[in-house]
Amino acid sequence: TKHVPFSSRFLRPAGYINGAWTAGGATKTFDVINPATGEVLASLPDMGTTETTAAIDAAYAAQVAWAARPAKERAVILRKWFDLMVANADELAAILTAEMGKPLPEARGEILYAASYVEWYAEEAKRIYGETIPAPSNDKRMVVIKQPVGVVGTITPWNFPAAMIARKIAPALAVGCTVVSKPAEQTPLTAIALAVLAEEAGIPPGVLNIIVGIDGPAIGRELCGNAKVRKISFTGSTEVGRILMRQCADQIKKVSLELGGNAPFIVFDDADLDAAVEGAMASKYRNAGQTCVCANRIYVQSNVYDAFAAKLAAKVAELSVGDGFKSGVTVGPLIDEQGVAKAEDHVRDAVSKGARVVTGGKRIEGAGTFFAPTILTGVDRSMKVAREETFGPVAPLFRFDTVEDVIAQANDTEFGLAAYFFAGDLKKVWRVAEALEYGMVGINTGLMSAETAPFGGIKQSGLGREGSRHGADDYLEMKYLCIGNL
Ligand code: ADP
- Per residue in 192-223, pLDDT (tens digit) is 999 999 999 999 999 999 999 999 999 999 99
| Catalytic residue positions, numbered | 258
pLDDT at 354 over 50: yes
455 pLDDT more than 70: yes
- The mean per-residue pLDDT over the stretch 426-441 comes to 98
Residue nearest to atom 7 of ligand 1 (CA): 237
Phi/psi of residue 132, nearest 5 degrees: -115, 145
Q: Are 374 and 357 in contact (CB under 8 A)?
A: yes
- Beta strand 363-364 pairing with 370-371: antiparallel
Share of the chain above pLDDT 90, in %: 98
C-alpha pair distances (Å), 107 with each of 269, 284, 453, 466: 35, 17, 21, 20
Q: Which protein residue has the closest C-alpha to ligand 1 atom 4? A: 157
pLDDT at position 411, please?
98
pLDDT of residue 1: 39
Percent of the chain with pLDDT over 70: 99
Centroid of ligand 1 to alpha carbon of 164 (angstroms): 13
- What pLDDT is stored for residue 8 in this prediction? 79
ipTM over 0.90: yes
pLDDT at residue 4 in the model: 61
Please indicate whether residue 246, judged by its CB atom, sits closer than 6 Å to ligand 1: no
Nearest ligand 1 atom to alpha carbon 239: 6
Residue 319: φ, ψ to 5°: -70, 150
Q: Which of 32, 154, 155, 158 to mutate to test the pocket of ligand 1 (most atoms within 8 A of CB)?
A: 155
pLDDT bucket at 6, cuts 50 / 70 / 90: low
Summarised one tens digit per residue, pLDDT across range 100-142 is 999 999 999 999 999 999 999 999 999 999 999 999 999 999 9
Residue range 145-193, pLDDT digits in tens: 999 999 999 999 999 999 999 999 999 999 999 999 999 999 999 999 9
Q: Which of ligand 1's atoms lies nearest the C-alpha of 182? A: 14
Task: Average the pLDDT over 287-292 and give the result.
Answer: 96
Distance of alpha carbon 362 from alpha carbon 159, whole angstroms: 21
Task: Assign residue 45 a region (left: φ > 0; alpha: ψ between -120 and 50; beta: otherwise).
Answer: beta
Amino acid at 74: R
Give the per-residue pLDDT at 3. 55
CB contact set of 254 (below 8 Å; sequence gap of 6+): 149, 230, 231, 232, 248
Cα(231) to centroid of ligand 1, in Å?
17
Please give the pLDDT value at position 7.
72
How many whole angstroms from 229 Cα to the centroid of ligand 1?
18
- Cα–Cα distances in angstroms (integers) from residue 53 to residues 22, 50, 219, 244, 329, in the given order: 14, 5, 9, 17, 42
Q: How far apart are CA 196 and CA 191, in angstroms?
A: 9
Q: What is the pLDDT of residues 291-322, one digit of tens each?
A: 999 999 999 999 999 999 999 999 999 999 99
**Tens digit of pLDDT for each residue in 41-86?**
999 999 999 999 999 999 999 999 999 999 999 999 999 999 999 9
Integer Cα distance of 317 and 302 in angstroms: 23
Mutation choice for ligand 1 from 229, 238, 240, CB with most ligand atoms inside 8 A: 240
Kindly report the average pLDDT of the chain as a whole number: 97
Residue of the CA atom closest to atom 16 of ligand 1:
216
Q: 5 pLDDT band (50/70/90 cuts)?
A: low
